[in-house]
Structure 1
Amino acid sequence: MIGVSIPNIVDVLNVDRQFWLDAANQTVRSYCGWHISPVIVQEFEMDGDGSKTLMLPTMKLGQVIACTSDGVDVLSLIRKSNKGMLELSRGRWSCELGGIVLTVSHGYEIVPADVAGIIAGLASRAGSSPAGIVSQTVGPASVRYGTVGGVAAGIPLLQSEKDSLDPYRVR
């Protein structure tokens, strides 16, 4: 361990609360498959399969601002659901890779309370166990790390948290 001292290692483990909040937020976003909050305007270039319906990676669709399929403006032909499903009133979506281009607004104005609670719980759990350590012994020095399925745990979601997030999850 040339060039690494104990204070350098300790500095890496002393992370502020914002770090854990950001990490917990990203864990939730990764699990759900989209950003959840705030409302943003985003452009999607999507692969088409020639069907009549298209599922966007969102569970809170606001406005469809622009939409083309194979370069043709189909905005006036779209029917939408708030859960991100789009349907053409006539015709079918492109069959081409990247053949559908949309600009939409989506997301929640305010983070839903159940999602905020899960993020706070994850951050608290992660911050109280630096580097995933779940057990320490001093003599003759032993450390035990938390694992999920045999893999070192970052900020794992509990099954109850996954169940609570499922209504926000893009499938």
Structure 2
Amino acid sequence: MDIQIGTTKKLVFVLLDIAGNEVTGLGSTFTVTYSKNGVAFVAGSGAKTEVGSGAYTYDQVADETDTQGPLLYEIIGAGTDVQRLLYEVVGYLSTPHLLGTIFATIQDIEAFLQIEITTPAQILSAQRALIEATAAIRNYTHQYLGRVDDDAITLDSKGWTRMFLPELPVIDVSAVVEDGETLTVDDDYKLGQYGVLHRIGQKWASGIQIITITYSHGYETIPDDIVAVCTRAASRGYQAGLRAADSAGVMGVASKQLGDFSVSFVSEAGGGVGEGVMGASAARMLLLSEKEMLDKYRM
């Protein structure tokens, strides 16, 4: 989420224990720390309150948002797991986008690479890699995949007896309006398999942007194979960032030597899966084997 530089927000979040249960009764005793642009965490000085049912708030102060770049918060209280909130401080407030469900976690990267990701810079790098891997999966499958409730879409119609809903899996259809007329489930339409919406007794009205459908779709729990692909893709991106940082952004560094300092370079033919002459940005988002795993979700 973007925050305009120099402005402040009231952060709202839920604190959970390691089992995923809401932790209540902390009042303002929980601890808030923040890191700007990957530097060391410092204690936040804003007001803290409990609003009930495990939900808490923290009021940002101006010196927390006075620098452009990533802003990471870590919140923890007695008996709670760490809650992390990531923002981007920008010079102007850009149009917000719905990031939604991220398909894997930092803990998944840690388990896959058998490492610990603990410093602010490492956490921010891993978060970015996860966001980019999730976006790559969505782009490849042409599907949002995460659960979305009451999503309203307006579609063109060719006047067939079937309408194909674009996001799968379809959980339910709550409303259908055809050319200004609200239809009744079972009498006028019925949801079939694979996101097919059938018109009963007649064909759908034909026209451009003529049918509005409100429906819920996506996975409440992301399937394991999607989590696995996201974890692997994000891990590659994270490791590519580490290699780039280790070589100060210089592309194709193969080895270094400290005494009588020397650096050797290696080139890589186009199409390789590493960095090569193209740098860390050439680390592939999705491998062929991963795309094959995702093909069953692709539309």
Give the TM-score of the pair, scaled to structure 1: 0.77
Q: In the superposition, relative to structure 1, how do residues 75 and 125 fare at CA in structure 2: closer, same or farther (>3 Å)?
A: farther
1:45 aligns with 2:154: yes
The Cα shift of 1:73 comes to: 2.1
Task: Specify the alignment match of 1:157 in structure 2.
Answer: 286
The Cα shift of 1:165 comes to: 1.1
The Cα shift of 1:106 comes to: 0.8
RMSD over aligned CA atoms reads 3.3
Task: Specify the alignment match of 1:98 in structure 2.
Answer: 209
CA contact (8 A) 1:60 1:82 kept: no
Structure with the larger helix share: 1
Higher relative contact order by CA 8 Å / sep ≥ 6: 1 or 2? 1
Task: Specify the alignment match of 2:221 in structure 1.
Answer: 110
Task: Report the 3-state secondary structure (helix = DSSP H, G, I; strand = E; otherwise coil) of the residue aligned with 1:129.
Answer: helix
Task: Specify the alignment match of 1:7 in structure 2.
Answer: none
Aligned partner of 2:147: which letter? P
| Per-residue CA distance 1:98-154 (angstroms, 9 max, x = gap) | 1110100111110011101110111001111239978325768757578559x9746
Distance 1:100 1:153 in 2: 43
Task: Specify the alignment match of 1:125 in structure 2.
Answer: 236
CA contact (8 A) 2:133 2:285 kept: no
Distance 1:104 1:146 in 2: 47
CA contact (8 A) 1:60 1:83 kept: yes
Task: Specify the alignment match of 2:94 in structure 1.
Answer: none
Q: In the superposition, relative to structure 1, how do residues 143 and 38 fare at CA in structure 2: closer, same or farther (>3 Å)?
A: farther
Aligned residues: 160
Give the TM-score of the pair, scaled to structure 2: 0.46
The Cα shift of 1:41 comes to: 2.2
Task: Specify the alignment match of 1:32 in structure 2.
Answer: 141
Task: Report the 3-state secondary structure (helix = DSSP H, G, I; strand = E; otherwise coil) of the residue aligned with 1:41.
Answer: strand
CA contact (8 A) 1:41 1:103 kept: yes
Q: In the superposition, relative to structure 1, how do residues 148 and 27 fare at CA in structure 2: closer, same or farther (>3 Å)?
A: farther
Where do 5+ consecutive residues of structure 2 fail to align? Answer: 1-68, 70-120, 245-250, 257-261, 273-277
CA contact (8 A) 1:45 1:99 kept: yes
| Per-residue CA distance 1:68-120 (angstroms, 9 max, x = gap) | 12122234222223421111112222321111101001111100111011101
Aligned partner of 1:61: which letter? V
Where do 5+ consecutive residues of structure 1 fail to align? Answer: 1-10
Distance 1:48 1:66 in 2: 17
Task: Report the 3-state secondary structure (helix = DSSP H, G, I; strand = E; otherwise coil) of the residue aligned with 1:83.
Answer: helix
Task: Specify the alignment match of 2:176 in structure 1.
Answer: 67
CA contact (8 A) 2:189 2:200 kept: yes
CA contact (8 A) 1:70 1:99 kept: yes
Aligned partner of 2:294: which letter? L
Task: Specify the alignment match of 2:53 in structure 1.
Answer: none
Question: Which of 117, 123, 135 is equivalent to 2:252?
Answer: 135
Distance 2:213 2:268 in 1: 45
- Structure with greater Cα Rg: 2
Sequence identity, in percent? 26
CA contact (8 A) 2:171 2:216 kept: yes
The Cα shift of 1:33 comes to: 1.3
